[in-house]
Amino acid sequence: MNGKSMIFHMFLLVIGLVFGCKEKKTSVQPDGLLNSEVMVAILKDVYVTEARVSSLSVTYDSSQQIFNLVENDILERHGTNDSVYLLSMQYYFEHPDELRLIFEAVVDSLSLQERKLSRPDNSLPPEN
């Protein structure tokens, strides 16, 4: 993932946490809310896709257009659409404790994937 992309997502996280720390509007989950497991899976795919797209030898504008096309595919693979995804992000931004857990799970999952891919046989050592 390139530096601009990482900075952009960190900015979104900080903005979400800042606005999320305000008094919660409601504790009732909206209909159609994506659960945390689905959000983790989507965000993980988004980060991996951004990294791949940013490594292409194209201009920033072109990489953004490519990513926008691929983003819809990511959401479809997870059985959702951009409206439900954005509604879910809004909810989690308003509930920073839940959002933090989601991002921690994304980071843990990506770290594990990176460790696995960096091993010659693509496996993790057995746990003792």
Does 24 have pLDDT greater than 70? no
The answer to whether residue 119 sits within a structural domain is no
The answer to whether residue 25 sits within a structural domain is no
The answer to whether residue 14 sits within a structural domain is no
Domain of residue 45, residue span:
3-8+30-114
The answer to whether residue 120 sits within a structural domain is no
Better-scored residue on pLDDT, 82 or 16: 82
The answer to whether residue 127 sits within a structural domain is no
CB-based contact 42:78 (threshold 8 Å) = yes
Better-scored residue on pLDDT, 11 or 39: 39
The answer to whether residue 70 sits within a structural domain is yes
Number of domains present in the structure of the chain: 1
Tell me the pLDDT tens digit for each residue of 66-105.
Answer: 888 888 899 999 999 999 999 999 999 999 999 999 999 9
pTM of the model: 0.70
Better-scored residue on pLDDT, 43 or 20: 43
